[in-house]
Amino acid sequence: MSETFADVALPLALARPLRYRVSEDLAARVGPGCRVVVPVQGREMIGIVTATGDAPPAAGRVREIIAAPDPGPVLDRELLALARHLAWYYAAPAGFALRAMLPAALYSVGRPMVRVADGALAREGAAGSGRGGPAAAALARLFRSPQRAVALAAVRRAGGTAGLRLVHRLAAAGEAELITLSPRTAAPERRERFFELVTRYEHLLDLERRFARSPKQREAYEALTALGGRASTRTLAQSGVSASALAALAAHGEARSVSETRLRDPFAELPPSPPPARPTADQQRAIAALEALEPGGAALLFGVTGSGKTLVYLRYLRGVLAAGRGAIVLVPEIALTPQTVARFKGVFGDDVAVLHSGLSDGERYDAWRALREGRRHVAIGARSAVFAPVRALGAIVVDEEHDTSYKQGEAPRYHAREVALRRAALSGATVVLGSATPSLESWTAASRGALRLVELPERVEARPLPPVEVVDLRAASQRPGSGAVAWSERLDAAVQGALERGEQAMILLNRRGFSVFVQCPACGEVWTCPNCSVTLTYHRAPASLRCHHCDHRERPPAACPRCGAATQRYRGVGTQQVEEFLAGRFPAARIARMDLDSTGGKWSHHRILEQVGAGTVDVLVGTQMIAKGLDFPRVTVVGVVDADVALNLPDFRAAERTFALLTQVAGRAGRGPLGGRVIVQTRAPEHPAVVRAARHDVRGFLESEREERRDPPYPPEVALLNGVLSGTDERAVARAAGGVVEWLHALLAARPALGAAVLGPAPCPIERIRERWRWHFLVKAPDEGALTRLARYLAARAPVSARVRLVVDRDPVSLL
Ligand code: ADP
Ligand code: ZN
The string of pLDDT tens digits covering residues 290-303 is 999 999 999 999 99
The reported pTM is: 0.85
Query: What sign does the CA torsion over 49, 53, 54, 57 have?
Result: negative
Q: Which atom of ligand 1 is nearest to the CA of 631?
A: 7
| Cα 71 to Cα 47: distance, rounded to the nearest angstrom | 15
Paired sense of beta strands 468-472 and 677-682, if any:
parallel
Percent above pLDDT 90 for the chain:
53
Residue 512, CA distances (Å) to 484, 597, 625, 668, 710 in order: 15, 7, 11, 20, 34
Question: Does residue 337 have its Cβ closer than 6 Å to ligand 1?
Answer: no
Q: How far is the CA of 658 from the centre of ligand 2 (A)?
A: 25
Q: 605-611: long-range contacts (C-beta < 8 A, 24 or more apart)?
A: 605/335, 605/336, 606/266, 606/335, 606/338, 607/228, 608/228, 609/336, 609/338, 609/339, 610/338
* Cβ neighbours, 10 Å, residue 473: 18
Task: Reply yes or no on whether the pLDDT at 115 is more than 80.
Answer: yes
pLDDT at position 424 is 97
Q: Does 650 score more than 90 pLDDT? A: no
Q: Which residues contact 591 (CB under 8 A, 6 or more apart)?
A: 579, 582, 583, 617, 618, 619, 620, 621
Higher pLDDT, 325 or 198: 325
| Cβ–Cβ < 8 Å for 770, 549 | yes
Q: How far is the CA of 529 from the centre of ligand 2 (A)?
A: 5
In one letter, which amino acid is 750?
A
d(Cα 596, Cα 229) in Å, to the nearest integer? 16
Q: In what order do the strands lie in the sheet with 230-232?
A: 230-232, 191-197, 255-261
Counting ligands in written order, the one closest to the CA of 456 is 1
Element (H, E) at 464: none
Q: What is the mean pLDDT of residues 329-345?
A: 83
Helices marked H in 593-676: 604-614, 654-666
Range in 261-275, 566-580, 673-687 the model is least confident about: 261-275
Range 384-392 average pLDDT:
96
Instruction: Give the ligand with the smallest distance to the CA of 535.
Output: 2
Report the distance separating Cα 792 and Cα 83, nearest Å: 16
376-386 per-position pLDDT tens digit? 999 999 999 99
CA distance 445 to 362: 39
Q: In a 3-state reduction of DSSP, which class is residue 195?
A: strand
Q: What is the pLDDT of residue 317?
A: 97
What is the average pLDDT across 684-696?
95
Does residue 631 line the site of ligand 1, with CB under 6 A? yes
310 Cβ below 6 A of ligand 1: yes
Mean pLDDT of the 72-85 span = 94
Q: What is the mean pLDDT of residues 644-667?
A: 91
740's enclosing H/E stretch is: helix 730-750
Spatial separation of the C-alpha atoms in residues 404 and 90, rounded to whole Å: 17
- DSSP state at residue 781: E
Q: Of residues 517 and 420, which shows the higher confidence score? A: 420
Percent of the chain past pLDDT 70, that is, above it, reads 95
Mean pLDDT, all residues of the chain: 88
Q: How far apart are the CA of 305 and the centre of ligand 1, in A?
A: 9
b/e code 758-783 from CB counts within 10 Å (16+ = b): bebbebbeebbbeebbbbbbbbbbee
Distance CA(169)–CA(163), nearest Å, equals 10
- Average pLDDT on 468-484 reads 91
Rounded Cα distance, 417 and 203, in Å: 48
Which ligand 1 atom minimizes the distance to the CA of 633? 14
Q: What is the DSSP letter of 478?
A: B
The pLDDT confidence band at residue 123, using thresholds 50, 70 and 90, is: confident
Under 8 Å between Cβ of 793 and 751:
no
**Cβ atoms of residues 11 and 45 within 8 Å:** yes
Check residue 185 and give its pLDDT.
Answer: 46
